[in-house]
Amino acid sequence: MKINELIERINKCMDDLDLITARKYIEENEQLLSEYDYKRLLKKNARELLDFLIDQKNNPEHQPLTREEKSMILAVNTYATKFDIRGVKLTISKREHLLLKKQVIDYLNADAKALLEGMNLIEKR
């Protein structure tokens, strides 16, 4: 696909509010769009989406959770639902740094949040 066609498709997707397709096009061609300064040919909202995706990719705080981290969160949720404090402590031990990630809070169920807040491992909301 030629660059002019790509830019035209991204701009059309943004006009149609088809953000998923626009994001897919931008992610597949991110280096090309930013490397050769074709960014200026994108409409304002498409440029902002490109900037946002680049910031997300470069920010270590927004890195996606690994499979191991997700399985640990699932174990914490399961133990918290059963109110097994010992199981929660064993699961979290030596992995406390995971609770510092902001996106982890979104994966915890209400029982786990209440239990971890009570243990002062996460901040109360």
pLDDT of residue 21: 93
Residue 102 included in any domain: yes
Choose the final residue of a domain: 42, 60, 78. Answer: 60
**pLDDT digit of tens for each residue in the chain (125 aa)?**
688 898 999 999 999 999 999 999 998 888 888 777 788 888 899 889 888 888 888 876 677 788 999 999 999 999 999 999 999 999 999 888 888 888 888 889 999 999 999 988 888 76
pLDDT of residue 2: 85
Q: Which two structure tokens, joined as six digits, stand for 106?
A: 């979104």
Residue 32 included in any domain: yes
State which residues form the domain around 82: 67-118
pLDDT of residue 115: 92
Choose the final residue of a domain: 60, 80, 103. Answer: 60
